[in-house]
Amino acid sequence: MTLAGRHELPGARRLVVKVGSSSISGDGAHRIAPLVDALATAHARGTEVVLVSSGAIATGMPYLALDERPTDLATQQAAAAVGQNVLIYRYQEALRQYAIVAGQVLLTAGDLENPTHRSNARRAMERLLGLRILPIVNENDTVATHEIRFGDNDRLAALVAQLIGADALVLLSDIESLYTRPPGEPGARPIRDVAHGDDLSGYEFGSVVVNSVGTGGAATKASAAKLAADAGVGVLVTSADLVSDALDGADVGTWFAPNPAPAPSGFTGAVRTGVAH
């Protein structure tokens, strides 16, 4: 179904929600519970929900006695191997009270470039959703390389939404909406609605922001939102703290209207970026 606006999110048949490392790891780990509460509410009304969650490396860092994100690939992979296990455990513990089972899906850029692997990934997620399992998707950081990876999980979420034919994608950030320029600068104004085909080149989203636990920023979210919207998926960009309001259809965040006439079903999104995250 094509959503006319954010107010129709409660009626979405299939929904992808993406959350970043800083929102659910370290000092942000307390947000896992309210995030799961919001997902469970959507699940209870019949929506098929897929969660794309960053955070494996950040979650694994304390177990490797690391104070900051490692820069070498091998240590990133080691942290991801430990952290992914802990991250899924935390989600499952939060889901337990709702009798919802999580299913882990780890993908590489190569999986979505290869038609056979892509078909297998789609089939697996379709079956999980049919069984009322909540798939939790992340990049497979244990085997990903600097040269071949999605670059950020905003893009991964857009590609997953396209892959499974989601009605909407919700990209959770640390601010309530996108702004015309970095929100701390004079004259910055919130962007509430982006019609399909709108030119965003006049906005100053800034470069990719790299912090101690992951990558992201307004630029990656705007790019991923346009990718998904072009494929006919409505996109809402808002704060992780507003996830419950967002999924209830409240007037929050930045809404990217979907392409009313997307290309026939098929996977068209470019996968590789060559950007480590």
Q: Using one digit for the tens of pLDDT, what is the confidence trace for 37-46? A: 999 999 999 9
More confident residue, 102 or 216: 102
The tokens 């929100």 sit on which residue? 183
Residue 104 predicted with pLDDT over 70: yes
Q: Which residue has the higher pLDDT, 75 or 205?
A: 75
Nearest by Cα to 47 from 1, 4, 98, 13: 13
Q: How confident is the model at residue 274 (pLDDT cuts 50, 70, 90)?
A: very low
DSSP for 241-253 reads GGHHHHHTT-S-S
pLDDT at 162 over 90: yes
How far is the C-alpha of 52 from the C-alpha of 154, rounded, in Å? 9
H or E element: which one contains 109? helix 109-113
Q: What is the pLDDT of residues 235-254, one digit of tens each?
A: 999 999 999 999 999 999 99
Rounded mean pLDDT, 94-107: 97
The 8-class DSSP code of residue 52 comes to: E
0.85 exceeded by pTM: yes
Average pLDDT for 79-90: 96
pLDDT score of 204: 77
Closest among 120, 139, 123, 116 to 272, alpha carbons compared = 139
pLDDT of residue 2: 86
**Which region, left, alpha or beta, applies to residue 99 given φ > 0 means left and ψ of -120 to 50 means alpha?**
left
Lowest mean pLDDT, pick from 14-18, 129-133, 195-199, 233-237: 195-199
Query: What's the average model confidence in pLDDT over 112-125?
Result: 94
Domain ranges of the chain: 6-256
CATH (one of 3.40.1160.10, 3.30.420.40, 3.30.70.260, 3.40.140.10) for 6-256: 3.40.1160.10
Q: Could you tell me which residues are annotated as the binding site for substrate?
A: 54, 141, 153
Annotated binding residues: 18, 54, 141, 153, 173-174
Q: What residues are designated binding site for ATP?
A: 18, 173-174
Question: For 137-150, what is each residue's pLDDT tens digit?
Answer: 999 988 876 644 66
The tens digit of pLDDT for each residue in 164-194 reads 999 999 999 888 999 998 888 898 999 999 9
Give the separation between CA 140 and CA 270, rounded to whole angstroms: 18
The DSSP annotation for 141-162 comes to TTT--SSSS-SSHHHHHHHHHH
Name the more confident of 206 and 51. 51
